[in-house]
Amino acid sequence: MKTIRYFFTLSLLCIVLHGNTQQTHFISEGKIEFERKLNLYSQFDDDNSWSAEYKKTIPQFKTTYFDLTFINNKTFYQPGKDNSDNNRLWEQPAENNIVYSDLDKHAAVSQKMIFEKTFLIQDSTRNIQWKITDEKRTIAGFECRRANALIMDSIYVVAFYTDEIATSGGPESFSGLPGMILGLAIPHEHVTWFATKLYATPVKETDLKIPTKGTKTTNAAMKDNIKSSLKDWGKWADRYVKAALL
């Protein structure tokens, strides 16, 4: 009798542990907070007395927060909590983007503010040829694997994703890995996005609001528009075009 009771208890324990493991490895809805950091000092290419003095008046990094709400393979990325330290810092193009992605349909709608003009970009999701590596790191409590890629022909991107979250999305317009991107770095542009926490709260598809404001366009048309407007800006034009398209 004791033997039967022992095996029954052991079997029940295995079922419970198996259920908890399944729940951990297949999160399909919730909200993730991302911390975005931009190295402001990197914006000064000229090492002169003016730039050196100006650097003394600002922090090295500008930190902003975004929320990524997701359910199954749909995501909604938008500005999160405010950071009052940023009130005295300048704003770059497309710093407060709103991005809705339907990853099953490979479709995205983005709302971007660029020099006082709002664009509503309706286009396909970015096709990124990721190369997955063996490197791992823990982000917001999740074990993540590293992947590398090139976007826009020459911009090197490093991402860390977890397969414990089934949605194959990520911050901004980055997606396409077998799990959620929780860490993202674009070294040459001196900007990073890293998840700080996951809110495992129920999500309805109606919580994911498709952006509607702005001049309707595509990524290619917006790029041409910006390049034409900034044709006399020299190296700053290239920097702003990259920032707008990330």
Q: Which domains does the chain possess?
A: 28-245 (2.50.20)
Q: What percent of the chain has pLDDT over 70?
A: 86
pLDDT class of 230 with cuts at 50, 70, 90: confident
Strands (E), the chain: 29-39, 61-71, 74-79, 98-102, 107-114, 117-124, 131-139, 142-151, 155-162, 180-186, 191-199, 215-217
d(C-alpha 184, C-alpha 205), whole Å: 25
- Per-residue model confidence as pLDDT tens digits over 22-78: 445 589 999 999 999 999 888 776 656 667 777 777 888 999 999 999 999 999 999
Q: How many helices (H) and strands (E) does the chain have?
A: 4, 12
Q: What is the pTM of this model?
A: 0.86
Please give the DSSP secondary-structure letter assigned to residue 211.
Answer: P
Model confidence pLDDT, tens digit, residues 175-194:
999 999 999 999 999 999 99
